């Protein structure tokens, strides 16, 4: 570490002093009675100022990188968070005994501003030399107490012969493969940024000597990357054994310097044990096999490590355990993972929080930040630092056991109605309206009933039985279900729509009002608050069932009937129908970009049969202006949507009503005098109308009484990406709450009046500091 540089007089200061001295010597003699005669005065040459000490190159480099980092305001990496000016000034001059500098450590994070961590160690000593920077990053990444000193347990793989790690999936239904790896660094060598070609060759030679001492199951062959023939390269790539130089974060950190010199792959004959030499770390030791026998995989790894430990000395520190290039891999360096099929559990809202609770990390099978494919996830232990190898593997083992247990529970399918009812009644955590109202007496009265479409009680309750976290838990199998199973549907409908349980359900005749005299138009003519407005309704073909019992040929027939009616539109409603079956990728991408494309990802709908025969008979119709849209055979037979930017509710409502009336001339819709228009889900009965705005209300939404204000106004507020989502930037989706027991024009006017009051309260809130507001 170099001493701080001594201050020096600047060139400008020296020049000023010289000029001042010359001026004094050239001034006239005091009290002279006559002008001084100009004479040339010879002065000694000014002493040459000592040049400022030259800033070391490694400091200049660090300063340039730090400037790039601090300028990247969008960066969220841990490096930018913890490398303050004070810490930078404190450590920028330092060097490790191997020549590692701050620049070596931070280059990748400064050049890749989207890094998550952003820092690599130049060598093992860097963790101590630059500890003021590394320590807080290590603590935050590994979720360790900020004020507690770092400490890591001694290496302990436990007694592998007495291990109780059994096969997690003996039937082979869930786990595709199991893999455990550790990283090791040879003592006395730096990490990639400062390694020379000779260093790498020395590491390779030492490693190869140790690897060649393996016997029995571990015995294998080493394949150097240099001069590797094409056949071997193709075979290793196909087997996913070959590492490459494609990671830009590692590349910026120097991870691929001198590529592919002194790098290679060792693996045994059964291809269950693999060692990467000079990839990211000096050694990456991997044990793996198909299936879920984690005990066998762990024993193989521990046996190999003990053999290597007899031949090689590894870099280790009592504070942070085994030392590796990246600080995320410190401690045990152990990552135990499975590729596991969990399509049902992974689709639930609780999956992420469950993994966190179990100290597990879930990611796609192709690495961090990749998506799952077919419900297959890579799940591993999350903790590496502060526990032993044995503890880390057991934590993963117990976590995966729980994951499989919950996937099995979700995969359960009842064989009869009695099993459904029994499963529902035993679910103490279930709070759905289905569970609340499906009493034993009601069940006995309805269990043998069928509609003319052969729909049963089981068709209506299956989704709520399989998804115990449902809010409602009940779908109608066909329009007739609302009558045939009224003993169950009626109390659920009354509860959901906030109707009195002791009074009969009634719904008025359809009334869209006088379109030429609506009494409302643009709610936000200045365009300062409302981003967009949308009104939708659902409609069901009178003679067809709903998804649970609907047949493929029925969907196709409904699609044909619907498209024929849609193609009759004229004026601004005229548009094009795009069937999902056979849709080109170009069209699919455009409709996804426009947020027009619906999918088959809702598990509640899926369990109810909503995606049966997907994507047969389904499609999207929209007009040229993209202000009118119809979904065919999504959740309902038809979902009609009128929308546009801004707050002109009047124009949007007129467009929707015009379309409804045009369709009514061509199609017959299912309707009931008690319940209004009949739809798949009982939450959408009555008018089926939802009128909503995306509105910027950062001040009002921050008030503690925001929710109660919306309730008083009969409005529902939610995030812009749907129910149960959070707001973004104070923008909320606000809609009418009531659909049943009022007319269409009344529902829209209720929403209009509510949003007008919301706008007034937002303006009031932006100029006052009160924590609550008074609704007029």
Residue with tokens 């500091």: 769
Neighbours of 541 (CB within 10 A): 20
At 46, phi and psi to the nearest 5?
-65, 145
Binding-site residue positions: 177-181, 240, 284, 335-339, 363-368, 532-536, 595, 639, 690-694, 718-723
Extract long-range pairs of 725-731: CB within 8 Å, 24+ residues apart.
727/701, 729/696, 729/698, 730/696, 730/697, 730/698, 730/699, 730/701, 730/702, 731/531, 731/694, 731/695, 731/696, 731/697
Q: Tally the C-alpha atoms within 13 A of residue 738's C-alpha that lie toward its C-beta.
A: 22
Binding-site residue positions for ATP: 177-181, 240, 284, 335-339, 363-368, 532-536, 595, 639, 690-694, 718-723
Neighbours of 738 (CB within 10 A): 19
Task: For residue 530, say if its preceding peptide bond is cis, omega within 30 degrees of 0.
Answer: no
Out of 77, 105, 326, 430, pick the active-site residue. 326
Out of 105, 430, 460, 681, pick the active-site residue. 681
User: What is each CA distance from 260 to 204, 275, 661, in whole angstroms?
Assistant: 12, 16, 71
d(CA 120, CA 133) in angstroms, rounded, equals 11
Which of left, alpha, beta for 768 (phi over 0: left; psi -120 to 50: alpha)?
Answer: beta
Burial letters 654-684, b for 16+ CB under 10 A, else e: bbbbbbbebbeeebebbbbebbbbbbbbbbb
DSSP 129-182: HTHHHHHHHHHHHTT--TTSPP--PPP----TTS----BS-TT-SSEEEEEEEE
d(CA 773, CA 776) in angstroms, rounded, equals 10
374 within 8 A of 386, measured Cβ to Cβ: no
Is 77 an annotated catalytic residue? Answer: no
d(CA 407, CA 48) in angstroms, rounded, equals 81
Token pair for residue 245? Answer: 């130089």
* Sign of the four-CA dihedral 447, 448, 451, 455: positive
d(CA 214, CA 301) in angstroms, rounded, equals 12
Contacts of 535 (CB under 8 A, 6+ apart): 641, 642, 643, 649, 652, 653, 656, 689, 690, 691, 692, 748
Is 326 an annotated catalytic residue? Answer: yes
Closest residue by Cα to residue 117 from 99, 134, 131: 134
Cα of 436 vs its chain's centroid, Å: 34
User: Length of the chain in residues, anyone?
Assistant: 776
DSSP 252-320: HTTTTTTTTTT-EEEEETTS-EEEEESSSSSEEEEEEEESSBHHHHHHHHHHHHHHHHHH--B-EETTT
- Write out the catalytic residue numbers: 326, 681
């Amino acid at each position: 570490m170099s001493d701080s540089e001594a201050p020096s007089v600047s060139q400008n200061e020296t020049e000023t002093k010289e000029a001042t001295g010359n001026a004094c010597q050239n001034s006239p003699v005091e009290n002279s009675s006559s002008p001084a005669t100009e004479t040339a005065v010879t002065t000694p040459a000014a002493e040459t100022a000592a040049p400022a000490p030259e800033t070391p190159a490694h400091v200049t480099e660090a300063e340039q990188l730090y400037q790039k980092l601090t300028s990247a305001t969008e960066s969220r990496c841990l490096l930018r968070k913890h490398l303050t000016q004070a810490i930078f000034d404190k450590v920028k001059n330092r060097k490790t005994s191997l020549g590692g500098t701050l620049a070596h450590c931070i280059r990748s994070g400064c050049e890749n501003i989207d890094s998550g961590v952003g820092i690599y160690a130049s060598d093992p000593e860097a963790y101590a030399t630059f500890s003021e920077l590394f320590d807080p990053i290590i603590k935050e990444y590994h979720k360790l107490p900020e004020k507690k000193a770092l400490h890591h347990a001694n290496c302990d793989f436990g007694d592998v012969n007495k291990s109780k790690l059994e096969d997690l999936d003996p039937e082979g239904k869930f786990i595709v493969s199991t893999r455990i790896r550790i990283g090791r660094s040879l003592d006395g060598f730096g990490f990639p940024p400062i390694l020379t070609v000779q260093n790498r060759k020395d590491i390779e030679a030492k490693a190869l000597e140790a690897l060649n001492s393996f016997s029995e199951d571990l015995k294998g062959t080493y394949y150097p990357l240099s001069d590797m023939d094409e056949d071997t390269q193709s075979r290793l790539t196909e087997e996913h054994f070959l590492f490459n130089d494609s990671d830009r974060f590692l590349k910026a950190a120097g991870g691929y310097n001198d590529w592919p010199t002194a790098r290679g792959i060792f693996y045994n004959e059964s291809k269950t044990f693999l060692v990467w030499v000079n990839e990211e770390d000096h050694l990456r030791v991997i044990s793996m096999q198909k299936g879920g026998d984690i005990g066998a995989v762990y024993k193989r790894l521990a046996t190999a490590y003990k053999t290597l430990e007899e031949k090689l000395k590894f870099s280790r520190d009592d504070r942070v355990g085994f030392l590796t290039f990246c600080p995320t891999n410190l401690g045990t360096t152990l990552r135990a993972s499975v590729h596991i099929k969990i399509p049902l559990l992974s689709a639930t809202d609780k999956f992420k929080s469950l993994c966190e609770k179990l100290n597990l990390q879930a990611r796609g099978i192709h690495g961090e930040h990749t998506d799952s494919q077919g419900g297959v996830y890579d799940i591993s232990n999350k903790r590496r630092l502060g526990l032993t190898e044995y503890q880390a593997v057991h934590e993963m083992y117990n976590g995966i056991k729980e994951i499989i247990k919950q996937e099995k529970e979700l995969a359960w399918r009842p064989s009869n109605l009695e099993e459904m009812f029994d499963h529902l009644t035993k679910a103490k955590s279930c709070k759905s309206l289905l569970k609340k109202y499906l009493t034993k007496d009601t069940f006995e009265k309805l269990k043998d009933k069928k509609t003319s479409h052969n729909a049963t009680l089981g068709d209506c309750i299956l989704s709520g039985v399989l998804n115990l976290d449902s809010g409602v838990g009940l779908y109608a199998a066909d329009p007739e279900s609302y009558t045939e199973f009224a003993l169950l549907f009626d109390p659920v409908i009354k509860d959901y729509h906030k109707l009195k349980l002791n009074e009969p359900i009634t719904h008025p005749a359809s009334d869209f009002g006088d379109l030429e005299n609506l009494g409302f138009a643009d709610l936000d003519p200045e365009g300062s608050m409302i981003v967009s407005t949308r009104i939708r309704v659902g409609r069901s073909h009178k003679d067809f069932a709903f998804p649970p019992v609907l047949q493929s040929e029925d969907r196709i027939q409904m699609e044909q009937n619907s498209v024929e009616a849609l193609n009759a539109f004229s004026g601004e409603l005229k548009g094009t129908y795009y069937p999902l079956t056979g849709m080109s990728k170009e069209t699919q991408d455009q409709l996804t970009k426009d947020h027009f494309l619906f999918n088959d990802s809702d598990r509640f709908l899926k369990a109810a049969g909503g995606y049966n025969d997907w994507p047969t008979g389904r499609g999207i119709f929209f007009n040229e202006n993209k202000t009118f849209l119809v979904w065919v055979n999504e959740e309902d037979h038809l979902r009609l949507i009128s929308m546009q930017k801004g707050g002109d509710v009047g124009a949007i409502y007129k467009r929707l009503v015009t379309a409804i009336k045009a369709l009514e001339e061509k199609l017959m819709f299912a309707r009931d005098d008690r319940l209004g228009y009949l739809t798949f889900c009982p939450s959408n009965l009555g008018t089926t109308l939802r009128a909503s705005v995306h509105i910027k209300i950062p001040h009002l939404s921050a008030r503690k009484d925001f929710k109660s204000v919306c309730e008083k106004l009969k409005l529902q507020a939610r995030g812009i990406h749907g129910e149960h989502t959070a707001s973004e930037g104070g923008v909320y989706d606000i809609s009418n709450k009531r659909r049943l027991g009022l007319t269409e024009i009344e529902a829209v006017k209720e929403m209009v009046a509510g949003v007008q009051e919301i706008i007034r309260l937002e303006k009031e809130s932006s100029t006052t500091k009160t924590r609550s507001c008074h609704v007029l």
